[in-house]
Amino acid sequence: MPTTRLALPNGNRLLGALPGGEFRRLQPQLKEVNLTFGEIVYEPGATIRYVYFPSNSIVSLLSATDQKATLEVGMIGNEGMTGVSVIMGVNQSRPRALVQGTGTALRMESAALRRESVRLEYFHQLLLRYAHSLMTQMSLGLACNRFHKLEDRLARWLLMTQDRIGSDEFRMTQEFMSNMLAVRRERVNKVAGNLQKRNLIKYTRGHVTILNRPGLENGACYCYGAMKQESDAGLRNGKQ
Amino acid sequence: MPTTRLALPNGNRLLGALPGGEFRRLQPQLKEVNLTFGEIVYEPGATIRYVYFPSNSIVSLLSATDQKATLEVGMIGNEGMTGVSVIMGVNQSRPRALVQGTGTALRMESAALRRESVRLEYFHQLLLRYAHSLMTQMSLGLACNRFHKLEDRLARWLLMTQDRIGSDEFRMTQEFMSNMLAVRRERVNKVAGNLQKRNLIKYTRGHVTILNRPGLENGACYCYGAMKQESDAGLRNGKQ
DNA sequence: GCAGCTGTGTGCGATGGCGCACTGATGGCC
DNA sequence: GGCCATCAGTGCGCCATCGCACACAGCTGC
């Protein structure tokens, strides 16, 4: 039964990690907007006009090859922001950014982001650490993709989604998952069916519920833990 | 904006892209060292004491899973530097960094790098753009790994190696390539044999020669072009 | 009620990568 | 010369994945 609901702060954790002064400085430039499932935030090659700090929405970064052969290379939720390349001096998006989970986000103009990231030292460092965590998650994903079983990867992906959306049920079809994991839908059907048989999840017609999170964590490859650690590490103070 | 560029024959192109003033400022802190095949530059989790700007050496970044199941997630040669995470505020290496091609590199202390990247604006931006290009290459690699044929990927990998090592022959075994591409050596044997039959390369006992570079480029997946463009883009002035 | 769309469940033959177990060839070292 | 380590080449059975085809179930609109 869908029992646990994650008690997540109703906001973006990256912004939440800022010292009060820096956050207040940014606040006037942040506007709350809705991101709806299926919306494309950035098209490959397009100029990044806004960056988004998701609250309970999720944005997926997709490899920018063909339309049909897609693969998720990054997942962005309340722990991060879209358009990190802006702070690295690159104003065009390489990947396609697609809204995977409907919800809200705080929007900021890229130009304002560049301006403020120069001015606000902690903010700047925080964003760079986040960029690093995204990069590390990509390299983990590279290996995970190659070495681990699909069922474990799906479990990992579901957990990551739950972490970011902050709810144990969300809209999700097998078709969509097959695009994220870059496999055929039939295979998703099979492994998702297994997860359901094991009473870890249940799903019907475009709707997934996490039933047993610890069990799912147990079934997921260790990449889940590694990626989670990475994304949490980005939020901490960087003095090492 | 930078007008004067130092002529650095056989040098590191990232440093070469610096305006003269900034480079002269860095020069005393750079020490030329040899990197030899098989040497491990960073072990996963270890503190990054030095960063390296390869001249004609190559360093491979490997996914830090098991020892046996390895996979290259990044390749660093004269277009870049090792230890980019330092400029992002992270002083530990996640991946394993392994010297893939013997040669020289300019070495710098991480602490000095942090200090100077704060002081030298162009340098800072350059390094960030490079970090971005590495990140993009990872995301391209993720998709390439998943969708493209091994023979094409091997061709791409050989071209990337040649670009960085600056020579059409280099030390290289099938075993090593199998570790980079995360496949069995037997498969490398097969596809490398095909490339040899097509007179694109030749090899004997740990030694590869590129015979027909245009032909190889033709056979490689388009990811080669995309990655090359990415790594060159990092070197250019970032004002867009 | 019925049509049409979307999402899920399933089968089957072809293919390709994996694991393993070899052989052969070359070069260095004693 | 002879031994041994390293590197390359090959065969074979197994299993995962692919590509395609089709059945069915629920929801929506007319």
**B52-105 confidence digits (pLDDT tens):** 999 989 999 998 766 667 899 999 999 999 999 999 999 999 999 999 998 999
Q: How far apart are CA B73 and CA B98, in angstroms?
A: 12
Q: pLDDT exceeding 70 applies to what percent of chain B?
A: 92
Confidence label for A240 from pLDDT (cuts 50, 70 and 90): very low
Tokens representing A47 are 């100029």
Q: Which of B225, B201, B227, B231 is nearest to B215 (CA)?
A: B201
Tokens representing A143 are 């290996």
Quote the DSSP letter at residue B172: -
Are A94 and A85 in contact by the 8 Å Cβ rule? The answer is yes
In single-letter form, the type of residue at position A215 comes to G
Question: Residue B106 has what pLDDT?
Answer: 94
The reply to whether A192 has its C-beta less than 7 Å from any atom of strand C is yes
The answer, yes or no, to whether residue A62 has pLDDT greater than 70, is yes
Are B33 and B102 in contact by the 8 Å Cβ rule? The answer is no
Question: Residue A169 has what pLDDT?
Answer: 87
Tell me the shortest Cα–Cα distance from A232 to chain B, in angstroms: 13
Question: Residue A197 has what pLDDT?
Answer: 86
Of A192-206, B3-17, B85-99, B154-168, give the lowest mean pLDDT range.
B3-17
How many helices (H) and strands (E) chain A has is answered by 9, 10
The answer, yes or no, to whether residue A142 has pLDDT greater than 70, is yes
- More confidently predicted of A3 and B110: B110
**Measured between CB atoms, does B132 come within 8 Å of chain A?**
yes
Q: Which of A166, A148, A173 is nearest to A225 (CA)?
A: A148
The answer, yes or no, to whether residue B28 has pLDDT greater than 80, is yes
**Which run of H or of E encompasses A11?**
none
Q: How far apart are CA B108 and CA B156, in angstroms?
A: 30
Question: Residue A68 has what pLDDT?
Answer: 66
Are B216 and B158 in contact by the 8 Å Cβ rule? The answer is yes
The answer, yes or no, to whether residue B170 has pLDDT greater than 50, is yes
Question: Residue B237 has what pLDDT?
Answer: 67
The reply to whether B150 has its C-beta less than 7 Å from any atom of strand C is yes
Cβ <8 Å between A139 and B89? no
Residue A237 three-state SS: coil
Give residues 165 to 184 of B whose Cβ lies within 8 Å of A.
Answer: 182
Closest residue on chain A to B48 (Cα):
A240
Q: Is A44 exposed, middle or buried (0-12, 13-18, 19+ CB in 10 A)?
A: middle
**Which run of H or of E encompasses B40?**
strand B40-42
Tell me the shortest Cα–Cα distance from A75 to chain B, in angstroms: 12
